[in-house]
A and B are shown apart, each in its own frame.
Chain A
Amino acid sequence: MPLKVRRIENGTVLDHLPPGTAPLILDILNVDVERTTVLMAINVESSKMGRKDILKIEGKFLEEEEANRVALIAPNATVNIIRNYSVAEKFKVKPPERIEGIVRCPNPNCITNDEREPVEPVFIRESTDDLEYRCRYCERVIRAEQLRELLR
């Protein structure tokens, strides 16, 4: 089936995103939608996934660490860096070392849930397990899939 969104000249294409997650991912990547051209395909057919989302961001070249933030929502996402209409670089996202600001801590007694304090939640990946994160503040260990549900 021909792709419904056009090619971009320079920028980043995020592919293999779970269906319906593209708007959230755009949000997580802090894309300034008022100044950036973004092409979003939601719920398109995919041979691998059945259905998927695709995100094309014109003029923004995602660094690996930045792109890895996406892994929380789209663990199988692929990132294509496009230069002059062709793929200059391609990589799969990996679980990020550090998740800052985008996920709230599930522990209600964690200081990061106190609205009076000037603090952003920070989670650090456990060295022993790619899928576990520890709150930098209350030190509670949280599975990656649980973190996904706690996106702010």
Chain B
Amino acid sequence: MLENRHVISVRDFTREEIEVILDHAERMEEVYERGGDDRLSGKVLATLFFSPSTRTRLSFETAMLRLGGDVISLVGKEAASTAKGENLADTVRTVEKYCDAIVLRHPKEGAARLAADYASVPVINAGDGANQHPTQTFLDLYTIRKEKGRIEGLKVGLMGDLKYGRTVHSLAYALALFGAEIHLISPEELRMPRYIVRELEEAGAADVEEHRDVRPILGELDVLYVIRIQKEMFPDPEEYERVKGSYRITRELIEEHAREDLIIMHPLPRVDEVDPDVDELPQARYFDQVRNGVVVRMALLDLLLGGEE
């Protein structure tokens, strides 16, 4: 089902296909725990990162290495011949000759789709501008399902910059596909765009509600997913100054209002939206997400490169 597939947008996947990935990740746990195996021996993964990343690139590279494959890497605009004016289409047509799959992060929206148009090896989108970052969504879903045993019917709060946050748009769409109840918590200025809210309702969300304040809803949530305010996503720096720090998860807030079995997630890196002393609480799961990211990417690479579902 997934062999040789490009992974560009969550929108390209059905619920059933996403479940295949999550199920395979579950089987991959055991491989991860014993330090990996050599099923991708002889395969080469190229990671092309035209915009900054720490965990995503390292996570993909680790996943490939843990399965016995090799990695070649092109990092930063200067490293690429794009500095000499080469376009992405040409870069992709060159790099695909060196490898069996490409992981691409690029500052322009739609870059991964363009790369996929030109590549005969699978292209995995590791972030195209403010648009999509599908493997982040897969690992988020995996974490929720692993912790809660299901996704359907769960009450999931998405909190923070819901206007510009790329992570949260893809995740919200996927949660809707799985029939979760979605609570959108953000300052007025950072509300989720109308067309996305409408789409969530159409995609199958059990319910979509908007909140300005997290407190009244916190006690009902199964999952609280927090994202940062990304300064670089703001066209207007004044708007950034106005809203930063206007939402923040503290230890007191969780201890007073949240359920014991709530899980708190964050795609990282955080700035100040989750206090460091929340890390010690039983609800914190963001560093587990990082771990799960490797497991999910191992599963995905294996499936794309011909592993059995």
Binding site for B on A (CB under 8 A): 107, 109-112, 114, 116-119, 128, 132, 135-141
Contacts and interface: CB of A to CB of B under 8 A. Distances in A.
Identify whether the interface residues of A are mostly helix, strand, loop, or mixed.
loop
B114 A117 contact: yes
Given A128-B202, A138-B110, A111 B132 contact: no
Given A138-B131, A139-B132, A118 B108 contact: no
Interface footprint category on B: 20 to 34
Shortest Cβ-Cβ A-B pairs, 6 listed: A137-B110, A138-B109, A111-B110, A116-B87, A138-B110, A111-B108
B110 A112 contact: yes
Contacts of B9: 139
B87 A137 contact: no
Identify whether the interface residues of B are mostly helix, strand, loop, or mixed.
mixed
B237 interface: no
Contacts of B129: 109, 138
B156 to A, nearest CB: 22
A116 B109 contact: no
Contacts of A119: 89, 114, 117
Contacts of B128: 111, 138
B108 A110 contact: yes
A117 B109 contact: no
Contacts of A138: 109-110, 128-129, 131
B109 A111 contact: yes
Contacts of A137: 109-110, 113-114
30 contacts: A107-B109, A109-B108, A109-B109, A109-B129, A109-B130, A110-B110, A111-B88, A111-B106, A111-B111, A111-B113, A112-B110, A116-B85, A116-B87, A117-B87, A117-B88, A117-B89, A118-B87, A119-B117, A128-B202, A136-B113, A137-B109, A137-B110, A137-B113, A137-B114, A138-B109, A139-B11, A139-B109, A139-B110, A140-B109, A141-B195
